[in-house]
Each structure stands twice: as structure tokens, then as C-alpha cells.
């Protein structure tokens, strides 16, 4: 019997080694095709891009409505008491604050309310103040944020 030469063995082994790799690539292809079919198209923040070579439209920013007055509520902790400053007037009682907010809300509920809260104020007082503003019916409630260079 004749023993096959080493060149014949290499060609048989090389072709046999490619078969599992082709199988793995095919399985990965099938996996990614199946996985991409179930994706939901993003409609809220769509990113439809212009065709290559076309010019993009310039979108003018919307102008901000002019309000009568911004209502600033600054919450700070002094000792064990939360002091709420409403347009430079201090309140420690939530019932008095509620009356004042209702008076302001009866004039105009479109004025924006901005809550400026110190880090030491308990979360319960923050939520209570926010709820008071919602009960009055203010349309715009925002939280003030510190800038990065204000530290």
C-alpha cells in the first residue's frame, strides 16, 4: 500500500478546517438578520439624514414666549427649618406659601415657576413645594441647575 504524500494531506486538512468557519459565519449572519427584524423604528427622535450631496435646511430656533414674570422659589435649610423664598419674600409655613401661590396663579398660570433648591433641603419639602405649584395649576415648572463653573 502506498502512503499518501504530505501535500495531499494539507489540501484535505485545509478544506476541512474551512467548513466549521463557514458554518459559524453563516449562523452569525442568520442571527443578526433575525435580531434586526424585531427593532421598532424610532419616531420621537428620528434621525433622518439628507441624501449625500444635498444641502441641509437651516431651521430657525423657535422664539420663546414672553412671560409676565418668572416666579423663583428658592428652598434653603436654615437650622432645622426649610425657608422658601418666593420672589425675595421668605416663607417657613407651607399654608402661607400656598395662599401666596394661589394669588399669583389666579392672575396668570402661564408664568414659569423655577425651583432653586439647595443640597441640604429634605426631599419631602421639595416634593411638597412642587405639589403646591401643581395644585395651583402652573403650566411650567422647572428646576434651576448650577453651571459647571459656579462651584
Task: Tell me the per-residue pLDDT of 69-102, one tens digit each, with 9 for 90 and over.
Answer: 788 888 999 888 889 888 788 888 888 888 888 8
**pLDDT top residue among 5 and 22:** 22
Q: What's the whole-number mean pLDDT along residues 12-39?
A: 79
Say how many CA atoms lie within 13 Å of 5 toward its Cβ.
Answer: 3
Is pLDDT at 8 greater than 60 in this prediction? no
Domain boundaries, the chain: 71-150
Is pLDDT at 140 greater than 60 in this prediction? yes
**pLDDT top residue among 104 and 3:** 104
Task: Give the C-alpha separation, 73 to 71, whole Å.
Answer: 7
Q: In what order do the strands lie in the sheet with 113-117?
A: 89-91, 81-86, 71-78, 113-117, 141-143
User: Could you give the 3-state DSSP secondary structure of residue 5?
Assistant: coil
Outline where 59-122 has alpha helix (H). 94-107
Look at the pTM and tell me if it is higher than 0.85: no
For residue 114, report the phi and psi dihedrals to the nearest 5 degrees: -115, 120
Task: Give pLDDT, residue 88.
Answer: 81
Confidence of residue 68 (pLDDT cuts 50, 70, 90): low
Task: Give pLDDT, residue 30.
Answer: 92
Task: Give the C-alpha separation, 115 to 142, whole Å.
Answer: 6
Task: Give the C-alpha separation, 130 to 114, whole Å.
Answer: 10
Q: How many other CB atoms sit within 10 Å of the CB of residue 71?
A: 22
Task: Give pLDDT, residue 45.
Answer: 61
Which CATH number describes the domain made up of 71-150? 3.30.420.270
Amino acid at each position: 500500500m502506498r502512503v499518501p504524500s504530505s501535500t495531499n494531506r494539507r489540501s484535505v486538512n485545509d478544506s476541512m478546517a474551512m467548513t466549521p468557519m463557514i458554518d459559524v459565519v453563516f449562523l452569525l449572519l442568520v442571527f443578526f438578520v433575525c435580531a434586526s427584524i424585531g427593532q421598532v423604528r424610532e419616531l420621537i427622535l428620528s434621525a433622518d439624514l439628507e441624501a449625500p450631496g444635498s444641502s441641509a435646511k437651516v431651521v430657525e430656533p423657535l422664539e420663546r414666549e414672553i412671560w409676565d414674570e418668572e416666579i423663583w422659589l428658592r428652598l434653603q435649610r436654615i437650622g432645622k427649618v426649610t425657608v422658601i423664598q418666593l420672589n425675595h419674600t421668605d416663607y417657613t409655613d407651607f399654608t402661607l406659601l400656598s395662599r401666596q401661590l394661589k394669588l399669583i396663579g389666579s392672575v396668570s398660570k402661564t408664568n414659569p415657576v423655577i425651583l432653586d433648591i439647595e443640597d441640604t433641603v429634605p426631599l419631602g419639602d421639595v416634593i411638597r413645594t412642587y405639589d403646591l405649584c401643581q395644585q395651583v395649576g402652573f403650566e411650567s415648572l422647572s428646576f434651576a441647575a448650577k453651571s459647571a463653573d459656579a462651584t
